[in-house]
Structure 1
């Protein structure tokens, strides 16, 4: 008897919610008219990608940073209203942001 069967025995009237994941995670993010600026820099000889120019809530930008880092499997941080991603991932990041509905502007290189 697995966990689902045990739960059905304990709560026979309960109807489980659908366990489908929402594919559009941008529903909670505020989409802006101004473009998000995607820059490429080198710091201490290492390439980094910087995203700046988001005018929405800071928490939304932090969620976006976390999502980008997990999808790209890279390190990064959120400092001074900027997302800093380790490595040159401008093309992939821009594709992800455009898919979510953001305007993106490529700067540098």
Structure 2
């Protein structure tokens, strides 16, 4: 019986070649579009807003730095700025920070309301 089985097995047709599917490519493209819409685009918008705020800084503005310091701008250069963060007696306490470290622009008078 064994010789008949090998003959029958040898006569079976080879499986047909499978056609390539475009579905994985469509799914991958859809995932990339979702990633762009949910992650990349909002981050780029936030960076544009941050850059515009940084360029609009002026002497006398009150800001919060990324380190959490609140101060009033007393001097500005293209890369640095000097902040008055308080006073000891009648002498101002100033620090120099990078312009890019500004996190938030505060409304005028915020520092007075904190004292």
Structure with greater contact order relative to length (CA < 8 Å, sep ≥ 6): 1
If each structure's helix is expressed as a fraction of its own residues, which one has the higher value?
A: 2
TM-score range, shorter chain: under 0.3
TM-score (norm 2): 0.23
Q: Work out which of the two has the higher radius of gyration on C-alpha atoms and give 1 or 2.
A: 2
